[in-house]
Amino acid sequence: MDLQKEEEELVLQAVVTDTGLGMSPDKILVIEQMRTKSELGSQGEEGFGLGLMLVQSLLEQQEGKMSITSKPGIGTSIKVYFKVL
């Protein structure tokens, strides 16, 4: 995590990176539009399809934002930013 000063506000930046299956640009778009469904994980584990949608919803309520970078077969990095009051 990193605390940054942007203009007159403090912004917390948290980064989560994995070396899992990665995501295509189309999959990232689906997540950003909050239309995602659960998929099997890298070891066949089953999810609920709520994780990133819940994070995105909470960030929107706090005027935060999320960015996703990913490469299929390599992994994903998700950055979240929100104001510190």
81 or 1, which is more confident: 81
**Who contacts 85 (Cβ-Cβ below 8 Å, separation ≥6)?**
none
pTM above 0.85, yes or no: no
**Who contacts 67 (Cβ-Cβ below 8 Å, separation ≥6)?**
78, 79, 81
The model's pLDDT over 24-58, given as tens digits with 9 standing for 90+, comes to: 898 888 877 777 666 666 677 666 556 787 888 88
Of 10, 68, 30, 58, nearest to 79 by C-alpha is: 68
